[in-house]
Structure 1
């Protein structure tokens, strides 16, 4: 554990795998010493779900800001990185939420630049297994919590994330609208198909009637032909045209 006499609104920060703290820094002061006990209360309740989660937990006058990563955001070879949580503790009202979470995002980037997830199995590390990062953590807490340039950097990071989320939401809305247009087209085509089907049924019924009458006429004509042939066949033996030889008998 490291300490510093440099004042910063960021009283405490740490990186943990599940409940195992890998690196931390506590600023000086009574509030900071109280802050160091908060992670033990918060870490067991942090969940690593399908997406990274940003949460704020209140512990008295302290705000515990956490960024919990998700295993689904990493390839299988780096899945252990999805169990990491980045925590920053401040006094209520001392630092804006955007700057605090911007700091945590920058902290994540800096930590992964030092401990590459592709070559580090965070699940196998002991307590303070990344203690060599404590000095970097101390420096970042002061720069991004106390200096104007650092605050602006953290704020820009937070704004970029907001813009990224906004772009994703815009793309999702556009996809929904596009699907809506496609649905309208599908409904129109379905209506046209229904109209065509009705027309086909009407035409089919008309054609069936015409074919039935045609068959009736053909059958009537065939019956007439058969009767005429019978008349001729019998007439040849009985004498045409009146079957006189047969009628005398």
Structure 2
């Protein structure tokens, strides 16, 4: 999953955000620290943190930020952010310059989800839009730094991300239950075979005992002595 989290903020004030349901963690807290370090001037940059990368575009004091895993290229996250910026401007214009925290979250969070799904599931779609292609060219010059460079000396933040893909969990649970059911059915079959074998042995023994005059088989022993 390349992009797992996104937000739109003015300075440290988050106006809207969305977290992919496949992950949980404290990255919203980490982004608050990062937002306090981002200058208000127009810029775009990426910060590496462990196995994740924070990408952002700041334009007219509004910051568009997303977090992706380090397996994705910078092209897709910045194309995503450019589209978020375009959509935001179409929806709200300059309203974000005076809006209070999370005042646009209810309306814009679903749009973030839709864009995130689109760019995660079909990243090739960005190549069909020439305008986005031109914007992506600017990604080549984006600075990439380790996030520790923006922290004050002695300041520490710990990124905790738990990838809890529900489909994978359900698949694992189903597989585990299937194996358990298979083992139960196998043991039932073994027990049934053992029971049939035991019953067959008892029946054969009973018939033999009856034919030989009792459980000590004295009748068969007498016949054997006569033959000898």
TM range (shorter): 0.5 to 0.7
TM-score after normalising by structure 2: 0.55
Question: Does structure 1 retain, via aligned residues, the 8 Å contact 2:3–2:116?
Answer: yes
Which of residues 134, 141, 145 is equivalent to 1:160? 134
Q: Deviations over 1:166-205 (max 9, x none)?
A: 9xxxxxxxxxxxxxxxxxxxxxxxxxxxxxxxxxxxxxxx
Q: Secondary structure at the match of 1:11?
A: strand
Return structure 1 stretches of 4+ with deviation > 2 angstroms. Answer: 32-38, 148-154, 156-159, 161-166
Change (3 A) 1:54 1:135: same
Question: Number of paired residues?
Answer: 139
- Greater helix share, structure number: 1
Say if 2:16 is the partner of 1:41: no
Question: Post-superposition shift, 1:123?
Answer: 3.5
Q: Which has the higher contact order (CA 8 A, sep 6+)?
A: 2
Once the two structures are TM-superposed, the CA of residue 153 in structure 1 deviates from its matched residue by 5.0
1:89 aligned to 51, 63, 67, which one?
67
Indicate the SS of the match to 1:96: coil
1:16 Cα deviation from its structure 2 partner: 0.2
Q: State the match for 1:103 in structure 2.
A: 80
Question: Unaligned stretches of 5+ in structure 2?
Answer: 141-228
Q: CA RMSD in A?
A: 2.4
Determine the structure 2 residue equivalent to 1:58.
48
Change (3 A) 1:165 1:16: closer
- Structure 2 CA distance, aligned partners of 1:37 and 1:29? 18
Q: In structure 2, what is the Cα distance between the partners aligned to 1:97 and 1:157?
A: 17
**Structure of greater Rg:** 1
Q: Which structure shows the bigger proportion of residues in strand conformation? A: 2
User: Are positions 1:11 and 2:4 aligned together?
Assistant: yes
Name the SS of the counterpart of 2:93 in structure 1. coil
Distance 1:41 1:13, change over 3 A: same
The answer to whether residue 13 in structure 2 is matched with residue 20 in structure 1 is yes
Cα drift, residue 163 of structure 1:
5.6
